Amino acid sequence: MGQDGKRFICKGIIGLVMLLAWIPQTIESGEKFKKRTVLILTGGHDFDRDAFFRMFKSFGNVSYEERVHPLSEIAYTSEWCKRFDAVVFYDMHQEISTEQKSAFRRMANRGMGLVFLHHSLASYQNWPDFEKIIGGKYLLEAENRGGVTVPGSLYRHDVEMRVRIADPRHAVTQGLEEFTLQDEIYGGYLTQPGIHPLITTDHAESVPVIGWTHRYGKARIVYLQPGHDHHAFEHPSYRQLVRQAIEWVSR
């Protein structure tokens, strides 16, 4: 075989390898920007509405509806699983009926994607299953656990915190590097043993793990502790975290 023929075969092999390497990246890119329809739950805690919803408007592939507590008895029903790809919780509500608890568990068991942000960790203080669903709990007051008194959790506003990426290979944190955020920190909250850490901080007043994934039933779940005000909502790395969390939990 002549040199020209060998060069032709080599070029063909290189081209085939490049094509095979390009195909999965194209598929992943297409998946990443699928249109998502999200339900956002608020209520029970004041927040910077304009900055919060500007963040969601910046997600070109995400459309959303908002519902505010108190919700009706038909909340968390199968209708949500048909209409939405994910539910984002930015609420801190406490009242939940027996019917709503059952519907919430069914929603998770059906595989609805759930993203919990910031103060939602303090919702439903008197419903033990909620802690198992979200993967942790912010204690609004001291609790007795197995005969031991656990003090209430703490918070502080306007703190500069270093956000470290615990799992850079995960889809929620993909492409992110360590960044600094001015935000509200939480100290002394509880986490479940089965959570998978996504982001951490070394701030002395904060619990080290400040973002995780969790599973409950068939539901993919993400909790992100940062997200108090416009400092977070306008930060490109925080926006990327939230958007990629929605992508990952969506069915």
Whether residue 32 is predicted with pLDDT greater than 70 in this model: the reply is no
For the segment 127-154, what is each residue's pLDDT rounded down to a tens digit? Answer: 999 999 999 999 999 999 999 999 999 9
How far apart, in whole angstroms, are the C-alpha atoms of residue 249 and residue 111? Answer: 9
For residue 23, the model assigns a pLDDT of 35
- Coil/strand/helix, residue 126: coil
How far apart, in whole angstroms, are the C-alpha atoms of residue 39 and residue 1? Answer: 64
The share of the chain scoring above pLDDT 70, in percent, equals 86
Task: Please give the distance of CA 61 from its chain centroid, rounded to a whole number.
Answer: 16
For the segment 187-209, what is each residue's pLDDT rounded down to a tens digit? Answer: 999 999 999 999 999 999 999 99
Q: Structural domains in the chain?
A: 36-249 (3.40.50.880)
Tokens matching residue 210: 């400040």
